[in-house]
Amino acid sequence: MTNARIDSTTLSNGVKMPWFGLGVWKVKDDGEAERTVASAIEEGYRLIDTAAAYNNETGVGAGIRNSGIARDEIFITTKIWNAHQGYESTLTAFEDSRRKLGVEVVDLLLIHWPVKDKYTETWRALEKLYRDGYVRAIGVSNFQIHHLQDVIASGEVVPMVNQVEYHPLLTQQELHSFAKSNNIQLMAWSPLMQGNLDQSILAEIGAKYGKSPAQVVLRWDLQNEVVTIPKSINPVRLKENADIFDFALTPEEVAQISALNRDHRYGPDPDNFNF
């Protein structure tokens, strides 16, 4: 395993977070999550991203415990679901997640979606958990600029991370710029466009380096300084996704991939979502 696979970004509070990890959306909690997490850790993954809404925190926790890797070497992210938002209900939901994961401290806790009239109260609860030492870092997911501005204006802590849909067809450049200017680390979900990788430029660039279109996209994420968490339950694909540290795209290639942007979402629009 190369050290590059576990290279880290440093969040605004000094906490180190791996650039690359595993997403487990839709991974079942019937042994599949436990096996997948253990396989990923064996391949060198050190960031595991789950959520209460994925219903697999128990399996994720078991996979981490059974990996043989020390807890403090694994970075665990989970999220507060929409139905649990609000101050007291967030604190309760966090305890439930912590129990299922089987950990004392969660590395990163996110608000899953910006539920109208609730997310600022939810953020207040995250700030308390952070101050009390139950989470090492706090952030948000699927927040647009105006949501971030609300939280920054009403809260005491600026979110350290914003996890959003991010890929070559949805580069979110304005949001990315706002995040950078406020020292908020952008993190990509659905980085592989749910498998819709049939763009000729990705194949052309991949052929040059002996890499797949998926590997090219994940490398593009990293060179844009975006944490990326591709999901797979296939051990071969897990290995392939992580094999992106032995080549680098040229600035021209990065720009060519970014030019694919169509503001196209495969997931919900945070401003038009039925919470």
Active site residues: 54
What is the C-alpha separation between 231 and 212, in angstroms, rounded? 16
Please count the residues of the chain: 275
Closest CA to 33 of 118, 82, 123, 101: 101
**Three-class SS state of 194:** helix
- Annotate 136-152 with b (16+ C-beta within 10 A) or e (fewer): bbbbbbbbbeebbebbe
Consecutive H or E run containing 40: helix 32-42
Contacts with 69 (C-beta within 8 Å, 6 or more apart), sequence order: 41, 46
End-to-end CA distance of the chain: 42
Do the Cβ atoms of 187 and 19 come closer than 8 Å?
Answer: no
Do residues 28 and 230 lie in contact, with contact meaning Cβ atoms separated by under 8 Å?
no
Q: Residue 68 to residues 32, 85, 152, 188: CA-CA distances in angstroms?
A: 18, 34, 39, 28
Beta-strand pair 8-10/75-80? unpaired
The answer to whether residues 76 and 103 touch, using CB atoms and an 8 Å cutoff, is: yes
Burial 258-274 (b: 16+ CB within 10 A, else e): eebeeeeeeeeebeeee
